[in-house]
Amino acid sequence: MEVELNKWFRCDVDKREFKKLCIKSDYQGWKHMIIYFTALFLFGYLAYATWGTWWALLFFWLYGTVWGCSDALWHETGHRTAFKSKHLNDFFYYISGFMDNFEPVRWRHTHFHHHSYTIFNDPVDFEIAIKKPSDLFLFFSIFMPFGAIFFPHKSLYWETIKHAFGVTTEVMEKCIPEKERSKCRWSARSHVFIWVVTILASLYFQSWLPILYVLLPNLYGKTLMALFGLTQHTGLQEDIKDHRYSTRTVYLNPIFSFLYWQMEYHIEHHMFPTVPSYNLPKLHELIKHQLPPSSKGLLGAYKEIIPAVFKQAKDPNYKIELSVPN
């Protein structure tokens, strides 16, 4: 198989098998949602029940961690592959978009852009968090609870506020069609409205709880999701139309895989974005002989990511060399 740089490379897959893998399932979607939201509400209840004790710190951390993984829920429903039903996908897409602070109109367009120009510089891929040369402080702050406060100008809260007040940002100008920008602004205003109501509720009840439950989970609970997300492309080759060089697949344990909606099979997802996440492990088995070796767990991934980020801070042209089958 030769890589043709004038189009995206895709591994060879039997067409009949691939058709089966693209079948969506409302059952699979509901199963995942029920388990996910049960865990979220359970930890939320335990945080409330232990409020005023040190146990509340543990349960709010667990609540925030599960809330932070709404990023994966947003992603799967954004592709409309979580459910067979378009309406169910869109319903949970808007809920998870608010939870993850991913305003739905903006992020539907920028995520399509991300798949069209994965880790490209021209046109720029707005979903790549660590640009070259690497900003080491930014890289490590992403994993820190409340780390976003060190870079308020990069905050999605700040971007949403700007959109709500009618500012045309760079990402809006380059990724969102002009006819969709009004929808983006009104959607951003709905997010800001809920934030304001949450703050007013905290003031009225003289309690931190509304803010801790609604406004702050993405600041104190995003560490695990950040660990997942930065494995996708960090340290890999830019500006190449072959996901085997620019994207990473990682083997995760069942709990992490569930929270991440099987997006650890990220090469497979980028090559075949119409395959639902719950079928990606099967797709991986079909094409793994055509892929570079997968990282063994988060530890295995970061053993190559962290040295690469340090090297790219000094040499923006550095990239991790991969063993890719011909």
User: What sections of 22-166 are H helices per DSSP?
Assistant: 26-49, 55-68, 70-78, 86-99, 104-116, 136-141, 156-164
User: Could you tell me which residues are beta bridge partners of residue 249?
Assistant: 265
Rounded average pLDDT over 275-295: 96
The ranges assigned to domains in the chain are 15-314
Q: How confident is the model at residue 302 (pLDDT cuts 50, 70, 90)?
A: very high
Per residue in 78-120, pLDDT tens?
999 999 999 999 999 999 999 999 999 999 999 998 998 899 9
What whole-number percentage of the chain has pLDDT above 70?
A: 98
Give the model's pLDDT for residue 325: 87
Higher pLDDT, 148 or 273: 273
Burial of residue 205, with CB atoms counted within 10 A of its CB: 0-12 exposed, 13-18 middle, 19 or more buried: exposed
The overall average pLDDT reported for the chain is 93
Q: Where are the beta strands (DSSP E) in the chain?
A: 250-251, 295-296
What does the angle CA 174 – CA 131 – CA 75 come to, to the nearest 5 degrees? 65
Give the model's pLDDT for residue 160: 95
Cα–Cα distance for residue pair 149/214, rounded to 1 Å: 17
Amino acid at 30: W
Residue 111, sorted as left (phi over 0), alpha (psi -120 to 50) or beta, turns out to be alpha
Rounded average pLDDT over 151-159: 87
User: Could you tell me which residues are beta bridge partners of residue 235?
Assistant: none
Rounded average pLDDT over 203-214: 97
Cα–Cα distance for residue pair 224/125, rounded to 1 Å: 23
pTM: 0.93
Rounded average pLDDT over 122-151: 88
Closest C-alpha to 278, from 295, 264, 288 = 264
Q: Helix or strand or coil: residue 251?
A: strand
